[in-house]
Structure 1
Amino acid sequence: MENKVVLITGGAGGIGRETAQLFLDNGAKVVLVDINEEALENAKAGLNGDKDNILVVQADVTNEEDVKNYVKQTVDAFGKIDVFFNNAGINGPFKEIKDLDKITFEQILSINVTGVFLGMKHVILQMEKQGYGSIINTASNAAYIGSAGMPGYIASKHAVAGLTKTAALEVAKSGIRVNAVAPAAIDTQMLADIQNNITPEDPKVSGEAIKQGIPLGRFGAPKEVAQVVLFLASDNSSFVTGSLYNVDGGMQAD
């Protein structure tokens, strides 16, 4: 990754920060994008490495002008985009279809699907000029399954899987690869939110129930997702495109 430029949305979150650190450790320059400017600055301050190799850009991934801007700022600062980790997302409340309001459902789709679409659209335009690039979307084991109480999240991650495969076919001849990571039960704030939504009276109860469904018997660490993103970004995966890589402790195999 020496002197590669890596653009990361959801950069202030647990997986985003760990991925940024791993790329910095491997010689890359990183651009962190998030809607929360304070969280972005805190993330930058907490990263180890040359701060000149870290750019932060506040953006709403559902706003096309913001997306164009984070792409432009990346190219203006570092001249190119080698890797795009299209990672921003939310999980939403734990409610069944009959109880979920339309506005909340559409908000989940807007961030998790439209945000992924817009990011790919404008990064692809840049990568086509370059003639190369690697895009890694964040899907989930929710891209494969149903889950009562999570209709918006499940629908959105199925959509991310479809967008990943479609984009991979569209840009293969341009030297661009498009893949996705499919994490599950990673020890982040999002997982804590899910536990709070399921059993607000005692989040540990739902946490233990989730662990019971993981063959490896534990939650994953954000760095374990980052390691797979690094692989998909690197030339070690040069013949890999249109794939979803499970990082779920064996849940999908069970």
Structure 2
Amino acid sequence: MTVSYVVTGGGRGIGRAIVQRLLGTDNVVVAVERDARALEWAGGQVIPVIGDASAAEIAEQAADAAEQAGTLTGWVNNAAVFRDASVDSAAAGEIVGLITANLAPPVVGCTTAVRRFLRAGTNGAIVNITSHQAQRAVPGALPYSTAKAAIEGLTRALAVEYGARGIRVNAVAPGSVATERYAEFLASLDPSVAARVEQQMAELHPIGRVATTDEIAAAVEYLLSPNASFVNGAVLPVDGGRSALALDPEAR
């Protein structure tokens, strides 16, 4: 039996690692991505859907493609917008818009996935990608932290409402991750400054480094798998102990 998944923001970073993890031997993954160029690496087992993950019609298109390819089994809401704003310098409407930009994609994705699982009469699993910032905010990142906290609330609410109907909903909360965006940020700095940033990141994470994208993807793969059949409504920190240490240099 061919199993299919949908991953939003599947072209780069954590999303790409999740797509590659889920492919396996017979699986098909539908990757939702704004930029078609971000999926140029993908092979025939990856079905691209180009568009905004917050648009209902794009989510429906992704679900259709997944169901045509196999049995839709899992949905990963990974797409996110990284833009900082503070209430003392940005208008309230701008703040609300930035929160919505991060909250709308998982709401749309969860709505689509739940309806498809129910219609097909099959069990299914949803994983929402949140952040350590959902519980421990970083100065200047109010919209992102607020949206990620709301997504964790969404995760718990859906788990309670649909668990008895065979649908599990969980979240993965990464710490800092060595994505392309992270590498580009370091490359934009003077080498001595970049070295200090990397040292700070090592101090923030008790393991002594930031995560690889594949380490986040491995947690997602587990939560989607039958091995996690009794895990529902959980937020799994995959942050090397950053949330347990609760230290952030920006707060000083």
The Cα of 1:253 is off from its aligned counterpart by 1.2
Give the equivalent residue in structure 2 for 1:60.
Answer: 52
Contact 1:213 1:251 in 2 (8 A): yes
Contact 2:2 2:71 in 1 (8 A): no
Structure 1: how far apart are the matches of 2:188 and 2:87? 15
Name structure 2 gaps, 5 residues minimum: 246-252
Give the equivalent residue in structure 2 for 1:241.
Answer: 232
- Alpha-carbon distance change, 80 to 104 in structure 1, aligned in 2, over 3 angstroms: farther
Matches within 5 A, 1:1-254: 3-25=2-24, 27-40=26-39, 42-45=40-43, 51=44, 53-75=45-67, 77-93=68-84, 95-102=85-92, 104-130=94-120, 131-192=122-183, 202-254=193-245
Contact 1:97 1:149 in 2 (8 A): no
Structure 2: how far apart are the matches of 1:30 and 1:154? 29
Name structure 1 gaps, 5 residues minimum: 46-50
- Alpha-carbon distance change, 102 to 37 in structure 1, aligned in 2, over 3 angstroms: farther
The Cα of 1:28 is off from its aligned counterpart by 1.6
Structure 2: how far apart are the matches of 1:18 and 1:153? 22
- Alpha-carbon distance change, 103 to 43 in structure 1, aligned in 2, over 3 angstroms: farther
* Letter matched to residue 86 of structure 1: N
Contact 1:180 1:244 in 2 (8 A): yes
- Alpha-carbon distance change, 189 to 108 in structure 1, aligned in 2, over 3 angstroms: farther
TM-score by length of 1: 0.87
Q: Number of aligned pairs?
A: 244
Contact 2:102 2:148 in 1 (8 A): yes
Contact 1:83 1:233 in 2 (8 A): yes
Structure 2: how far apart are the matches of 1:128 and 1:12? 28
Structure 1 stretch displaced more, 170-179 or 184-193: 184-193
Local SS of the residue matching 2:71? coil
The Cα of 1:207 is off from its aligned counterpart by 3.7
Alpha-carbon displacement from aligned partner over 1:178-197 (angstroms, at most 9, x marks no partner): 00100011101343577699
CA RMSD in angstroms comes to 2.5
* Letter matched to residue 66 of structure 1: I
TM-score by length of 2: 0.88
